[in-house]
Structure 1
Amino acid sequence: MSDLSNFQGLVAVREIEGQGMLTVRGDFSSMVLRSAVTGLAGVDFPGQRGANVQGNRGLLWMSPDELAVLLPRAEAAGAAEKLAGQLAGEHALVVDVSDARVHFEIEGRVVRETIAKLAPVDMHPDSFGPGELRRTRFGQIAAGFWMGDERTARIFCFRSVRDYMAGLLMVAADDHSELAYFKK
């Protein structure tokens, strides 16, 4: 297992413990769905490719009919059951995927460069900014990420590839690998 407990390179890399995640599929034009998920997450409904996140709660736009709902992991199973009940009669699906996902946070002055080394995403500040979400690949694995601010990004992937992702992030953040590409 890759040890992230005290990793500090060009950016700090840490695993987020206790993050829960629900997948919700449905009709985004349904006010019942929108009200239920925003009430649960405590944030506004995101626009296309948006990430509205406050702490460990939020909504991530995953596709035109799919959201990820972030909440504390201890609440996830009960929230999934409650949300499914609220959406009964709606064209919707709710699944607790907390056990199948792992979340990382990277923080520091070269967050953009660290991600750019691993994912085929234009990380220039004019092309990608805080509050935007991308689903992509980091190396050989599927992942999603968003920036909370200019110095912080959250990344999620399947738990089965946790060690691979941790290793990728630590190599990309190695002190001797700075690119200084996005410096202003």
Structure 2
Amino acid sequence: MSDVALALGGASFDGLVNIEELAGQGMVTLRGDLSDTTIISAVKDVFGVTLPGTRETAFDGAQGALWMSPDEALLLCPYEEALQRADELSAKLHGSHALVVNVSDARAVFRLKGVMLREVIAKLAPVDMSPDAFTPGMVRRTRMAQVAAAFWMDDANTARIVCFRSVAAYMFGILSVSADDASAVNHFTR
């Protein structure tokens, strides 16, 4: 798969899980005091979700919020709405100590689907992927092999991974190797 194809979305791989690059995910980074009622209210008004707690996610349809650090959230929306929503959020936070940036074109998103997704992720990230330790609704910001990434589970068999677009080809490659049928360890399926 060429870097051009990855940059446009559409890369996919079938193995222990199905891996697909998702094209067109709107992403807005928010930096500020996530406990500030002005920020909480503005996010709810613009994105329709409540800011999540530590290492959690909050979704309402295509809108979502991911906790990224004590002073950072990643807000999700349809791609075509990201710039407008970033501008609207920025306007609502005028005068507040906050930073709002549309990062949609700077990030890549991959979806993993299948019962082996915990194993695929565990091979790459220093995160306890056991069902008791990591459940849908949680998010982790970490490293996957040599690159920074964040991931969360939408449900028991679906996860999404966000990384910098500049390393999308690398991420697709390591995910594909980790999901190769011949690499099954079956740690979580015993």
Report TM bin, short chain. over 0.9
1:132 maps to what in 2? Answer: 138
What's the TM-score once normalised by structure 1's chain length? Answer: 0.95
Q: Distance in 1 between matches of 2:48 and 2:182?
A: 41
Q: Distance in 1 between matches of 2:46 and 2:116?
A: 33
2:20 maps to what in 1? Answer: 14
2:47 maps to what in 1? Answer: 41
Q: Deviations 1:28-56 (Å, cap 9, x if unpaired)?
A: 22212101112322223201011113443
2:67 maps to what in 1? Answer: 61
State the 1:135 CA deviation: 0.6
1:173 maps to what in 2? Answer: 179
What's the TM-score once normalised by structure 2's chain length? Answer: 0.92
Q: 1:6 to 1:90 in 2, by over 3 A?
A: closer
1:32 maps to what in 2? Answer: 38
CA contact (8 A) 2:12 2:21 kept: no
Which ranges of structure 1 fall in alignment gaps of 5 or more residues?
Answer: none
Aligned Cα root-mean-square deviation (Å): 1.5
Q: Determine what percentage of the aligned residue pairs are the same residue.
A: 53
Q: 1:141 to 1:6 in 2, by over 3 A?
A: closer
- Aligned pair count? 184
State the 1:102 CA deviation: 0.4
Q: Deviations 1:94-126 (Å, cap 9, x if unpaired)?
A: 011111100000000101000001111110111
Q: 1:49 to 1:129 in 2, by over 3 A?
A: same
Equivalent positions of 1:66-105 (< 5 A) are 66-105=72-111
Letter in 1 for 2:116: V
CA contact (8 A) 1:19 1:56 kept: no
State the 1:6 CA deviation: 4.5
Q: Deviations 1:119-158 (Å, cap 9, x if unpaired)?
A: 1111011111111110111110000000111101000000
**SS where residue 176 of structure 1 aligns?**
helix
Equivalent positions of 1:108-147 (< 5 A) are 108-147=114-153
Which ranges of structure 2 fall in alignment gaps of 5 or more residues?
Answer: none
